Structure 1
Amino acid sequence: MCTTVSNWSWRVILILVLLVLPFTDVALGLHITKVVVPTPVAVGDGGWLECEFVDQGQSIYSLKWYLGLDEFYRWTPAENPPIKTFHVKGDPLTVDRSSSHKGRVWIKDVTLGAAGVFRCEVSAEGPDFHTESEIGTMTVVDLPDEEPRITGTQDSYQMHEDVILNCSSPRAQPPASLSFYVNDEPADPLWLTPYHPKEDPETGLETAVLGLRFPLRPRLLRRGAAIVKCTAAILNIYWDSTEVFIPTDAPFHASIMEGQTAIGRGYPAAGSSLLTVLVLAILLLLLPH
């Protein structure tokens, strides 16, 4: 029985060694510890690609960066010069060779073509040329050419007339996300009309459009006008806004409404108090003495 237990124990130990050995080999050899790809990046800008690794005594043969299937950067420490760059169709980015070293690469002048998967590949020296690779994804944004535009305004409005406006953020990729505010308060969703972005057939850039329609009620007036603001945002890289005034044809109506509101709350208007005093004085003079 002792022989059976002993044989069983050795089998278990052998299985555990076979299972753990591949992971131990990787842990003690070459492996990538971190890959960082900047995102989002605006067209024309750039950022750092970072590929960190540990070699655990293995000599590095090469480190390469790929965009999709295309290699654009190689660091080979045994060669002179150690850094080489390669042309990629469409020139989606430029490598600053003077700032780059090992796996840390400065890219600039990116285009929309640089959006996608970046891969860092590190290889050890022979005879096995053990290779490790990790990926990161970049989003590239083509920002709008100008601030959002509000169209459809009139010189003046009648009370309770519908205000009908459009806001557009031109020529971007992806299209901007638009929002309307009335007197710094988010517009009622029932007032909004979303439209599909309009694509420029030549550039592929898109113009975002959002409609707004609301009745001009007295409660919306501030000194005879309402303020409408439109904001445009893309991810966490872009934000801009523009404002317009929506005036009434009779601004003093707002003051009258405000005075009536004050009286309704128990605060007499100044003109009303003066008139009351004058009437009482006249009545006192007319009373018989």
Structure 2
Amino acid sequence: MFSPLNPLRFQASLILRYLIIGVHRTANISLHCHCLKNVSLLVFPPTVQKGSQASLLCQYDLEEAPLYSVKWYRGNFEFYRFSPGEKPDTKIFPYPGIHVDLSVSNESVVVLRKVGFNLSGNFSCEVTVEAPSFSTATVYQQMLVVALPESPPVIHTEHDRYEPGDTLRANCTSPPSKPAASLSFFLNNIPVGVPEVRQYRAMPDTQQMSFLSLSTTLYPMHYQNGQLVLKCTAHVATLYRQTTEVHLSARAREPIPERVTSQNASWRLAASVHLLLLILGGHIAR
């Protein structure tokens, strides 16, 4: 015959059950307490000149958990892996334009040599800890590859001398670069013109020349001690900034004849007349 469970025994069994579950959960938490923290990726420099090298620094805190692997990706393609449990512990997977310097690359740093334009874009590192958790974290960062102009910008003006009221017409050209250089005009250090830069493809690797024109009316306020200093500044990202300047002056004025009504001229005229009368008087007296 079925007999109901004693209420006290029933409560005790429930408490025991929750205690067992709690111990089990605590054990699971303790197994997973060693997890990844503070995972980050640094690209240095973030803007890289074509042909130079770049360093990718993957930082992480394993919280005493053993490292299983660190994988490096360009976009969705893996190109480098560090696995301390394997021999050798480094692997390279071919990717166009990526040249890993193994002599200075490890579980935290990958150094790329001879960086090309095709590497502009997204990079990531994926960090995984050992069993039993196999916790994984992935972080991303961008790289920009640029080519800098090989020489400063060049300024051409219509004339060498200008008067107030004249129209100053000039243009500024920057050699090929990628991205194209941004150009700005300054007249005696004051910005002038509208920065509407035109770009022309000049190289097979997509480098572009930059061209900026200027047309502005000159006023007396533009002059400093009768001089005009026209500058053109070119810059590319944060890596390049060059300025070229030309010195322009006011046109020489035609000499103004001295007027006979001036005080000096009147005195000179009177002296000349008096001298002439003396000479004539002498001749008459003879």
Q: Using the alignment, how far apart are the partners of 1:238 and 1:107 within structure 2?
A: 22
**Residue type of the partner of 2:248?**
I
SS in 1 for 2:104: strand
1:194 alignment partner, SS class: coil
Q: Residues 142-168 of structure 1: CA distance to partner in whole angstroms, max 9, x if unpaired?
A: 212221111234343455321111112
Could you say which residue in structure 2 is the equivalent of 1:234? 236
Letter of the aligned partner of 1:124 in structure 2? V
Change (3 A) 1:22 1:238: farther
Q: Distance in 2 between the 1:183 and 1:57 partners?
A: 62
1:62 maps to which of 69, 89, 96:
69
2:95 is matched with 88
RMSD: 3.5
Q: 1:51 aligns with which of 33, 58, 63?
A: 58
The correspondence of residues 209-288 of structure 1 with structure 2, limited to 5 A, is: 209-250=211-252
Instruction: Report how far residue 224 of structure 1 moved.
Output: 4.1
Quick one: distance in 1 between partners of 2:69 and 2:77?
16
Q: Report the CA distance between 1:222 and its aligned residue.
A: 3.7
Q: Distance in 1 between matches of 2:217 and 2:117?
A: 42
1:271 corresponding residue in structure 2: none
Do residues 148 (structure 1) and 148 (structure 2) align? no
What is the distance in 1 between the residues matched to 2:28 and 2:160? 77
Larger radius of gyration: 2
Match 1:166 to one of 171, 177, 199: 171
Structure 2: which 5+ residue stretches go unaligned?
A: 1-13, 257-261, 269-286
What secondary structure does 1:28 align onto?
A: coil
Structure-2 residue corresponding to 1:184: 189
Contact 2:176 2:203 (C-alpha < 8 Å) held by counterparts: no
Match of 1:112 among 117, 122, 132: 117
Residue 205 of structure 1 corresponds to: 207
State the shift of 1:26 in Å.
Answer: 6.4
1:139 maps to which residue? 144
Name the CA distance, whole Å, in 2 between partners of 1:26 and 1:196: 58
For residues 16-54 of structure 1, what are the alpha-carbon distances to aligned partners after superposition, in whole Å with 9 as ceiling and x for unaligned?
xx9xx9999866323452221231222122332111222
**Matched residues in 2 for 1:139 and 1:28: separation?**
35
| Residue 3 of structure 1: aligned partner | none
Output the TM-score relative to the length of structure 1: 0.70
The alpha-carbon deviation at position 217 of structure 1 amounts to 3.5
More off after superposition, 196-205 vs 232-241: 196-205
Name the residue aligned to 1:123.
Answer: 128
Distance 1:241 1:252, change over 3 A: farther
**2:48 alignment counterpart:** 41
Q: Percent identity?
A: 30
Q: 1:251 to 1:58 in 2, by over 3 A?
A: farther
Measure, in 2, the Cα distance between the counterparts of 1:127 and 1:26: 8
Alignment check: 8 A CA contact 1:143 1:238 kept: yes
- The 1:193–1:97 alpha-carbon spacing in structure 2 relative to 1, beyond 3 Å, is closer
After superposition, the C-alpha distances for 1:232-274 in whole angstroms (9 at most, x for unaligned) are 1122221111001223331799xx9xxxxxxxxxxxxxxxxxx
Q: Kindly state the Cα deviation for residue 88 of structure 1 after the two structures are TM-superposed.
A: 0.9
> Which of 30, 35, 39 is 2:36 aligned to?
30
* Counterpart Cα distance in 2 of 1:168 and 1:25: 65
Range with greater deviation from structure 2 (217-226 or 132-141): 217-226
CA distance in 2, matches of 1:22, 1:168: 67
1:72-115 Cα shifts (integer Å, max 9, x gaps):
221111233322323212x1x43221122212122232111111
CA separation of 1:23/1:42 partners in 2, compared to 1, >3 Å: closer, same or farther?
farther
Distance change in 2, residues 1:173/1:180 (3 Å): same
